[in-house]
A and B are shown apart, each in its own frame.
Chain A
């Protein structure tokens, strides 16, 4: 079974440029998460999708960040414009239905460097 796929793995941009990250979850997983991981820190949730619906985006900085999951499968996270402080690893995770807690499976992440 394929895991969570993310691309690109690395991205270097200059500040004020836009950037987008793509995530394809595990097949059949209806819940998708985007996390931000700063250097030396644990991941922090940015947004959670149930199918196409963003059910928790309370931690997403909406002035510059946006996300979409149009067909309830893959998702895109965008930053426009990027700032120096956005340099971090952006992780995508997915989980399926069935248990009282749905185990989250993580992708390898996209490491963003803003110059």
Chain B
């Protein structure tokens, strides 16, 4: 069965600083890979997805993610964080329709 690990439970970053969130997955083949963001009281919003092709994926809100097959990783990055990026971030994998989520990383942005 596939699994997703997000090693960092909580990250605090200063506004304007760069952000990187880690995600590792365990699966026999390359699944579909996703990053979602959940703001307080909101549903999950898709930031970006990787199906195949270019391993550097651009998403919404200035986020990007890089797929590294050799490391089974799909890390999310943003060069300059805004206060509105404070939220919980979930990495997910899907070999088919069934999304399996990591436990999430909470991002706090300090002024």
Contacts and interface: CB of A to CB of B under 8 A. Distances in A.
A98 interface: no
Contacts of B90: 42-43
Interface residues of A, number: 25
B46 A42 contact: no
A100 B43 contact: no
Interface stretch (A14-22, A67-75, A106-114): A106-114
Q: Which of B45, B51, B90, B99 has the most CB of A within 10 A?
A: B99
A24 to B, nearest CB: 13
Interface in A61-115: 91, 93, 95, 100-109
B92 A42 contact: yes
Contacts of B4: 42
B43 A48 contact: no
Interface of A: 3-4, 9, 31, 40-45, 48, 56, 91, 93, 95, 100-109
